[in-house]
Structure 1
């Protein structure tokens, strides 16, 4: 039960001698009612019943952890490394000789190709030099003989007039033989077919005695040195009618 404090008598308080305003204020505070409830406040019975009747649900199964299977122990005999074989002195020497032999063979092939190339170049050079030397000699000989052709023309005219007799005839024959050794040949005779590449026609006549252009007279003989024409022959040509 709550005790209700007894209220102070205002008359007594106000009639107290020597009372002040503070005393009057304390008297007002004393008039307030203070209630203290000491009863225990419990939860409702329905909530307690629900809490007591709650059934726990099924628990999830725990995840199975993978079990590590231990690896089989390695065989020390099988895993033992074999020691590297050391080559013998003979094998080392044979390998060195083989490498040296290959190097010498490659060098020999290279030198052989160089010799073949130089030989081919030298052969071509010799051919070119021989050809140039032959042309130079032929040109020089042709120049010298060309300078002697007027002398040969004079000898031909002297022969026609019968003046090459005795020692002069012998000198003329020796000169012709010496020039013949260098390949000089004379051409241009009466009755030869006319060849415009070797004859210069200074006169043209018609004749019923010929069936093709023919040299009927030779004013000057022509000369050639080998296959090279030094001078054409001057002739008179008769054409058929």
Structure 2
């Protein structure tokens, strides 16, 4: 088994592995899976990922056939998030997920990224157990939309959460910046802001580049800080581990 960086020629196999993995791991309608594949694994999307130095896309190559892949993105100078880890159902139970996870960690460490986070749909019991068995802590939840339906996903980190910091909005309202829940921006990370210290209702984002609240979002989920121009583009989050 060879664990290596993905190549453009791997694109069809990556889509096929994702399709098989989603079909085996979730009770999704076939049309929903097809829509997800088109949105998340399209040719242009994969090409952009391969060209992005902040993306780490690894594949498990078995005798010239891609049977699994992982996709991680560097969200901050020292933190990355494991977005995807899919294994073809025909090759599950062979330890490929563990080997690929370890290879991903090693590759990120070579990039001087020491903190790893992961996201997995709440209904994926084996995926959540995968993190638990490796000593990760659940630090929050988020939602993801698949073919028009929302699903809960759990967020994991290797260390305990740092917590939420109270900040005041321009109109005098108190909201809470979640230092454990952040996403990549063009200049610096965006932290998710919640309306309550313990609640799940989102207020917006906090730009760590200029320490201001960023609320402007277009229909595609693109956020731009009006103060410094820091931009956060939407990224598809999910993971399926077997």
**TM-score tier after normalising by the smaller chain length:** under 0.3
Greater share of strand: 2
Larger helix percent: 1
Q: Which has the higher contact order (CA 8 A, sep 6+)?
A: 2
TM-score (normalised: structure 2): 0.21
Greater Cα radius of gyration, structure 1 or 2 = 1
Q: TM-score, normalised by structure 1?
A: 0.21
